Amino acid sequence: MFVTAIEEVSKFTRAIHTITRNYKETIVSPGAATFFFVNEEGVAITCKHVIDLISNKQAINKHYENFKSEKVLIGKNNKYNQRIKALEDKYNFKSDTTIQIQDLFLDVTSETNFNYKWINHPKYDLAILIFDNFKNPLYQSHAKFVKDSSILKQGKFLCRLGYPFPEFTNFQYNTATDSIEWTLSGKVATPRFPIEGMLTRHLINEGETMGIELSTPGLKGQSGGPLFTTEGLICGMQASTNHLHLGFDMKNFEFKTNGRTIKATNQPFLHVGHCVHVDIIKKFLKDNNIKYYEK
């Protein structure tokens, strides 16, 4: 159903790879997000929460560097552990505190160095990405937004595309520098992953249709990815997943399996995807004088 559409949308949908590290850990955690281009001028869109993570990178990394600078000044004496604890409290470092972040935008341009800036939507989980001094693009085509959003009715099947389940391995923890970094070895790419769903409800905020709910979840890594029709027309952007309690709770429910009686406790939820509505996206692009296309 979506074979041709996925091939078309893949031409302008790209991945953001991130690596993070928590305090007192040497394990590097990979993550991914998605963005897609809306014109031929190097302008794309993604989720605001994706941009928030990336924009905090410099501050988070600098915060840890400052911590390390103070730590080396602590003498090895009988109050060492106490002073380290005081320093950790000063910097608000706990075991689950992210202390380092690095990111990569994949297959944007053949240029090795490029800059980008962003414009966050004042209300919704939406951001415009603008790549400066854009040359030699590695994406082909661009989004074509559905012109008449009235076709988006309950029961319509749509598809999302993104980069969940990260498989890239081109990163490491550098013991000598106590930092995480990208490497020239390892797997660079993560395969794209589509997931379809039925339009279940429109999401309304203060009388404004701001989103589309789908019967299936948007997967981690698909945030910022396009929502599209079987024709490849963009009608939204994956932003979050909501969890609806089904009410079929079981407590010590007995059932037989492999000749044995098992007791199970379960509280099932339906995970539904929430997407930013196409009309919100187009208005935001128009308000910021960004060229986009409709069909």
**Residue-wise pLDDT tens digits, 30-83:** 999 999 999 999 999 999 999 999 999 999 999 999 999 999 888 777 788 889
E strands, 23-136, where? 29-37, 43-46, 98-105, 115-120, 127-132
Assess if residue 265 is contained within a domain: yes
User: pLDDT by residue (tens digit) across 281-293?
Assistant: 999 999 999 999 9
What residues have CB less than 8 Å from 227, skipping those under 6 apart? 158, 159, 160, 212, 214, 234, 235, 236, 237, 238, 275
Asked whether the predicted pLDDT for residue 134 surpasses 80, the reply is: no
pLDDT digits (tens, 9 = 90+) for 169-225: 999 999 999 999 999 999 999 999 999 999 999 999 999 999 999 999 999 999 999
Q: What is the pLDDT of residue 12?
A: 98
Does residue 293 lie in a domain region?
A: no
The residue segments making up the domain with residue 43 are 3-287
151 assigned to some structural domain: yes
Any domain includes 183: yes
Note the pLDDT of residue 110: 82
Assigned domain for 254 exists:
yes
Averaged pLDDT of the chain? 94
In a domain, 81, yes or no: yes
Give the domain CATH number at 92: 2.40.10.120
Lowest mean pLDDT among 27-31, 107-111, 231-235, 236-240: 107-111
The answer to whether position 295 is within a domain reads no
- Residue 292 lies inside a defined structural domain of this protein: no
Number of separate domains in the chain: 1
Q: What is the pLDDT of residue 241?
A: 95
